[in-house]
Amino acid sequence: MAQQNEKGATKPRERGIRNLNPNLIGDQEGEGRHKAPIKSEEKWLVTGSIGSRLWNKSAIGHLVEEGNLLTPEEVLFCHWHRHLPIPNDKWLETILTKDEFLLHKASALNRIREPGDVLVLVENTNLNYDENSWALRWNRGQHPTKSPPLSEVRWVNHSSEIIWKDLFDWVASVERNGRLAEILVVDGEFDVTAYRLKITEPKGNLNTPPKLTQEDFQKILIAWNQKIPSGNGYWLPIKPEIMPLPQLGVPQASGIWLEEIEKIWLESKFETKEISEIPEIYGELLERGLWPRPGFKYGCRWRVYSDNISSQHAPWLIVPNCESPKNWNEACLAARLAAGVNKSWLCAMKFDKEISFIELCRWSPGKA
């Protein structure tokens, strides 16, 4: 969000910069000053009234008989926002030698908590959660002692590899727990972008291949047998207005032009050949009553309609798993482009002969 300078002009905000307070290092005398945390195995024990207050008001840490145990990233957050001293001037350097991603995790934690949402690290809770989740999230004003969590959260580095099958399994597990699946992507400026993922079932209202009559297939077969190679596809001499499956191919020059993927799928129907992932996903879209069209302009395989192409804008941009983003840099670009044109971005995957879809979209912490 832009800020105003002394002359009233706007200037870009500083991204991800949170400094240590030199006046909040170690135990120092002074009215209202808190004691610095004490090391307790891999965590840091906060004693006194602030320890219980951190949990009761903000659900930070894990209460024990001696006080409140905080992880290093929670210590940093409380230093930035709760006036908690860090133990000494070498504390951060020492922790970083043991946990190179401390600053990344602290930035992710800060991104959720700064707007007021509650983020509890899974190691601080007795609730059930998927083993790959990092934290549980509640909306602003909620507390773990009074309501169930809304979501399970993971954080990732912006350059981290994406294995979509593993991501799909995590989302499925989180949804079985009755929660949203959320990802926090930490970039090279320690700025954090939040995403939600969900398993979705795109459905359309169009005629589907199983509903075609024998006469319909015969019309397509006659045109298929007269196909003519054209560029990297084939032209079929069948008028678009009598095409029984109008979502197949693209009308061109009073006929239908098929690209290679569509030709392979159609061959499988007439010649019962096995097909690879992309034409199989294309066929699944047709089976769902959808209308796939080339998505080149949007950087994806297909833009997909749920109804007649002349009656709506495409709700979805869909890519097959084999062409999906390989890391979070690429995924963020795809999701941003889709959001910019008011479409949902989906990755289609084949598992055990079934085609499944996972949706990726941006969201803003602090908002439901």
Looking at CATH, the fold of the domain delimited by 18-100 is given as MutS, DNA mismatch repair protein, domain I (3.40.1170)
- Classify burial at 143, counting beta carbons within 10 Å of its beta carbon; exposed 0-12, middle 13-18, buried 19 or more: middle
Distance of alpha carbon 360 from alpha carbon 324, whole angstroms: 12
Looking at CATH, the fold of the domain delimited by 209-362 is given as Trna Endonuclease; Chain: A, domain 1 (3.40.1350)
Other Cβ atoms within 10 Å of 317 Cβ, number:
22
pLDDT for the residue 176: 98
Structure-token match 């320690």, residue found: 190
Residues 26-51: tens digit of each pLDDT:
987 666 688 999 999 999 999 989 99
The amino acid present at 95, given as its one-letter code, is: I
The amino acid present at 177, given as its one-letter code, is: N
Judge contact between 176 and 146, C-beta under 8 A.
no
Question: Across the strands, what pairs with 254?
Answer: none
Distance of alpha carbon 53 from alpha carbon 147, whole angstroms: 19
321 Cα distance to chain centroid: 15
Residues 52-90: tens digit of each pLDDT:
999 999 999 999 999 999 999 999 999 999 999 999 999
The pLDDT of 233-251, averaged and rounded, is 94
Could you tell me the residue ranges of all domains in the chain? 18-100, 105-196, 209-362
3-state helix, strand, coil in the chain (%, to 5): 30, 25, 40
Structure tokens at 109: 């934690």
Looking at CATH, the fold of the domain delimited by 105-196 is given as Trna Endonuclease; Chain: A, domain 1 (3.40.1350)
pLDDT for the residue 31: 64
pLDDT for the residue 233: 93
Domain 18-100 identical in fold to domain 105-196: no
Distance of alpha carbon 338 from alpha carbon 344, whole angstroms: 6
Residues 144-160: tens digit of each pLDDT:
999 999 999 999 999 99
Residues 112-134: tens digit of each pLDDT:
999 999 999 999 999 999 999 99
